[in-house]
């Protein structure tokens, strides 16, 4: 009997040696005469266990990890093909606390299915959303998305249904769906994981968006650093087309939609929607002034929906199970689930999808297990390089757009980067300014010039030169960047800088802050 073994083809697993593990398993099986089938799946998101392999046994799928090619001989000797005992045996992955505690909607199939198999996708509920969307028609789809309360997962949290309605109402002989898969935020990898582990879900989400707004063409814009995601997406697009789910008359319906994958060179600013459009048009990625909104004049000046991968991949579930089902998860105006990425100096890093409302402390300490170094946590930067440094005394903050905004912080794309007590937040603040100066598109003065002056100021502060006076100038500069920048790159760089300064003044050579726990 042929035994099926799953070895992830996820970029993280490959970086940790998954290809070599797959080769070693194939060679060992050949030598022992045991027929096996190796399926290259996505990652389950428990990244500290990668490469995590799974074997299909009578008891279900049994996982082992982190496996090195050198472990394979021992695994065969321990009878891993039938789920045998071994030091690396994890057991049933779905029973592992990291997975068992999650509410997986967007990531429900990731790591379970063969990402290249259309049949596997369908067998696990794929295209149920599109089937229902075809019965609802454009207005019905937008209504369902509105009911779900879905907000853009790319950073700004803008209501998806409003964006779609604007494009649906806009006049244009051609409309576009653009998927923002640039994923430039530090500590984020959810877009990549989905594209590598469940690419048909993104195709389905974009197709539903196309039907909703009357767009017949879509583009996935991603970066050159994501070759495995590009490969997986392009393969899935071909397969979907061959199965009548892309192209003319999708699934025999009157609707047509097709799509392509495009690669940018990897500039952070090309994740900003208008710079992305310029880059997609073959120009240098520079931010456009708004208005006009991309919804009115976007790609090639045509009405365009731009959504993040996670916004679009939430859509098939919303359509399949109903907007209300999705809206029943979450808190306040943050509805549904958020695929949160736990990274940095953390013991158990990975992808954790859960309903909004979980606290930062639960995520970092309970789920993430604290720091990898074992030292106390000092802070976490949430929401990418433009996000605030949140100190431990604010770890009761629930994952919710409004709760974060109230603390001058942001959820962004859901990335958390953990720092231990040895981190120097003044150096991190300098890094935020330097990042802005390197990545600035140069269109507006507060960001182009301000970030360079900011780096110079930070250097003087770190060197202990006229600290008090330079801190006043830095605060003033941050205010100018916040209020005067054309886009959020310049406008949000002050958040990591000022949060570091406000919460950890001693790192800047200023008097330490007195923390009143109860008053926070
Ligand atoms: C400097 C900068 C970088 C950004 N990078 C990304 C990105 O990598 N991915 C993303 O989806 N949105 C990014 N955004 C937000 C986009 O401009 C836009 O709000 C988003 O793609 C809209 O999709 P959504 O409504 O689904 O979130 C960035 C914004 C700025 C200002
Ligand atoms: S804030 Fe920076 S990145 Fe944004 S438009 Fe201005 S110069 Fe360009």
Q: What is the pLDDT of residues 79-127, one digit of tens each?
A: 999 999 999 999 999 999 999 999 999 999 999 999 999 999 999 999 9
- 390 alpha carbon to ligand 2 midpoint, in Å? 25
The pLDDT of residue 1: 87
270 lines ligand 1 (CB under 6 A): no
- Nearest atom (ligand 1) to Cα of 488: 31
Give percent of the chain above pLDDT 90. 96
Q: Which residue has the tokens 């295209």?
A: 127
- Nearest atom (ligand 1) to Cα of 439: 1
The pLDDT of residue 296: 98
- 255 alpha carbon to ligand 1 midpoint, in Å? 28
Tell me the CATH architecture of domain 3-100. 3-Layer(aba) Sandwich (3.40)
Nearest Cα to Cα of residue 228 among 7, 14, 51: 14
Nearest Cα to Cα of residue 98 among 267, 328, 350: 350
415 lines ligand 1 (CB under 6 A): no
**Summary mean pLDDT of the chain:** 96
- 488 alpha carbon to ligand 2 midpoint, in Å? 7
Q: How far is Cα 202 from Cα 200, in angstroms, rounded to an integer?
A: 5
Query: In sequence order, what E strands does 126-275 have?
Result: 176-181, 217-223, 258-264
Nearest CA to ligand 2 atom 4: 487
269 lines ligand 1 (CB under 6 A): yes
- Nearest atom (ligand 1) to Cα of 309: 11
Is the pLDDT reported for residue 511 higher than 80?
A: no
- 255 alpha carbon to ligand 2 midpoint, in Å? 38
Q: How far is Cα 80 from Cα 378, in angstroms, rounded to an integer?
A: 41
| 304-308: strand order across its sheet | 258-264, 217-223, 176-181, 304-308
Nearest-ligand number for the alpha carbon of 485: 2
272 lines ligand 1 (CB under 6 A): yes
Give the contacts of 236 (CB within 8 A, at least 6 positions apart).
Answer: 115, 116, 199, 200, 203
Residue 4, number of CB atoms within 10 A of its CB: 14
Reading the block at residue 466, the tokens are: 């006229």
In this prediction, residues 268-281 reach a mean pLDDT of 97
How confident is the model over 356-383, as pLDDT tens digits? 999 999 999 999 999 999 999 999 999 9
Q: How confident is the model at residue 518 (pLDDT cuts 50, 70, 90)?
A: very low
How confident is the model over 194-214, as pLDDT tens digits? 999 999 999 999 999 999 999
Nearest-ligand number for the alpha carbon of 177: 1
Nearest-ligand number for the alpha carbon of 155: 1
The pLDDT of residue 81: 96
Nearest-ligand number for the alpha carbon of 486: 2
Q: How confident is the model at residue 514 (pLDDT cuts 50, 70, 90)?
A: low
What one-character DSSP code corresponds to residue 244? Answer: T
Tell me the CATH architecture of domain 425-519. Up-down Bundle (1.20)
Nearest Cα to Cα of residue 50 among 98, 108, 113, 84: 98
Nearest-ligand number for the alpha carbon of 412: 1
Q: Where in the chain is the domain with CATH 3.40.30.10?
A: 3-100
The pLDDT of residue 517: 46
Answer yes or no: are the C-beta atoms of 322 and 342 closer than 8 Å. no
Q: Where in the chain is the domain with CATH 3.40.50.11540?
A: 126-327
In this prediction, residues 449-458 reach a mean pLDDT of 97
Answer yes or no: are the C-beta atoms of 6 and 39 closer than 8 Å. yes
How confident is the model over 298-319, as pLDDT tens digits? 999 999 999 999 999 999 999 9
- Nearest atom (ligand 1) to Cα of 182: 8
The pLDDT of residue 519: 36
- Nearest atom (ligand 1) to Cα of 275: 17
Q: How confident is the model at residue 513 (pLDDT cuts 50, 70, 90)?
A: low
337 lines ligand 1 (CB under 6 A): no
Reading the block at residue 142, the tokens are: 């937008």
Pocket (CB within 6 angstroms of ligand 2): 269, 287, 440-444, 447-448, 485-487, 489-490
3-state secondary structure of 390: strand
Q: How far is Cα 159 from Cα 307, in angstroms, rounded to an integer?
A: 11
Q: How far is Cα 8 from Cα 351, in angstroms, rounded to an integer?
A: 15
- Nearest atom (ligand 1) to Cα of 151: 25
Nearest-ligand number for the alpha carbon of 304: 1
The CATH superfamily holding the domain 126-327 is: NADH-ubiquinone oxidoreductase 51kDa subunit (3.40.50.11540)
- 273 alpha carbon to ligand 1 midpoint, in Å? 6
Nearest-ligand number for the alpha carbon of 338: 1
How confident is the model over 210-232, as pLDDT tens digits? 999 999 999 999 999 999 999 99
Determine the topology of domain 331-419 in CATH: Ubiquitin-like (UB roll) (3.10.20)
The pLDDT of residue 520: 37
pTM: 0.96
- 180 alpha carbon to ligand 1 midpoint, in Å? 7
Nearest CA to ligand 1 atom 20: 154
DSSP H or E run through 30: helix 18-32
Nearest CA to ligand 2 atom 1: 490
- 69 alpha carbon to ligand 2 midpoint, in Å? 46
- 441 alpha carbon to ligand 1 midpoint, in Å? 15
Strands 3-6 and 60-64: unpaired
How confident is the model over 383-409, as pLDDT tens digits? 999 999 999 999 999 999 999 999 999
- 506 alpha carbon to ligand 1 midpoint, in Å? 33
- Nearest atom (ligand 2) to Cα of 436: 2
Residue of 445, 485, 488, 492 best suited for mutating to test ligand 2, as the one with most atoms within 8 Å of CB: 485
């Amino acid at each position: 009997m042929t035994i099926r073994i799953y070895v992830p083809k996820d970029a993280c697993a490959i970086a940790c040696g998954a290809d070599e593990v797959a080769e070693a398993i194939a060679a060992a099986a050949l030598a022992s005469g045991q027929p096996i089938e190796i399926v290259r799946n996505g990652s389950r998101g428990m990244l500290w266990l990668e490469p995590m392999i799974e074997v299909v046994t009578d008891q279900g799928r049994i996982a082992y990890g982190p496996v090195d090619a050198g472990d394979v001989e021992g695994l065969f000797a321990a009878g891993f093909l039938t789920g045998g005992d071994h030091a690396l045996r994890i057991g049933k992955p779905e029973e592992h606390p990291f997975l068992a505690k999650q509410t997986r909607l967007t990531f429900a199939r990731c790591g379970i299915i063969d990402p290249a198999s259309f049949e596997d996708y369908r067998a696990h509920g794929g295209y149920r959303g599109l089937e229902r969307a075809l019965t609802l028609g454009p207005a019905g789809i937008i209504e369902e998305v509105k009911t779900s309360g879905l907000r853009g997962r790319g950073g700004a949290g803008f209501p998806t249904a409003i964006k779609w309605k604007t494009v649906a109402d806009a006049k244009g002989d051609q409309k576009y769906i653009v998927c923002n898969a640039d994923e430039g935020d530090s500590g984020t990898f959810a877009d990549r994981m989905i594209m590598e582990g469940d690419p048909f879900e993104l195709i389905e989400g974009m197709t539903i968006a196309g039907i909703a707004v009357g767009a017949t063409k879509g583009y996935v814009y991603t970066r050159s650093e994501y070759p495995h995601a590009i490969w997986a997406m392009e393969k899935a697009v071909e397969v979907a087309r061959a199965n009548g789910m892309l192209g003319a008359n999708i699934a025999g319906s009157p609707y047509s939609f097709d799509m392509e994958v495009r690669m940018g060179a990897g500039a952070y600013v090309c994740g900003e929607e208008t710079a992305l459009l310029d880059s997609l048009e073959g120009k240098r990625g520079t931010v456009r002034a708004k208005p006009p909104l991309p919804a009115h004049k976007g790609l090639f000046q045509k009405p365009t929906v731009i959504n993040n991968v996670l916004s679009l991949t939430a859509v098939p579930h919303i359509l399949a199970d109903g907007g209300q089902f999705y809206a029943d998860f979450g808190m306040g105006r943050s509805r549904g689930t958020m695929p949160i990425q736990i990274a940095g100096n953390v013991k158990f890093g990975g992808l954790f999808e859960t309903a909004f409302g979980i606290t930062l402390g639960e995520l970092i300490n309970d789920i993430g297990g604290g720091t990898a170094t074992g030292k106390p946590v000092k802070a976490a930067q949430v929401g990418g390089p433009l996000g605030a440094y949140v100190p431990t005394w604010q770890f009761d903050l629930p994952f919710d757009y409004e709760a974060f905004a109230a603390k001058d912080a942001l959820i962004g794309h859901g990335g958390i980067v953990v720092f231990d007590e040895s981190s120097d937040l003044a150096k991190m603040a300098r890094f935020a300014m330097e990042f802005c100066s390197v990545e600035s598109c140069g269109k507006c003065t507060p960001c182009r010039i301000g970030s360079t002056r900011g780096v110079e100021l930070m250097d003087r502060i770190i060197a202990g030169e006229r600290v008090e006076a330079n801190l006043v100038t830095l605060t003033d500069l941050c205010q100018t960047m916040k209020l005067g920048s054309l886009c959020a790159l310049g406008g949000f760089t002050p958040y990591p800088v000022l949060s570091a300064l406000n919460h950890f003044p001693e790192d800047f050579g200023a008097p330490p802050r007195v923390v009143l726990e109860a008053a926070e």
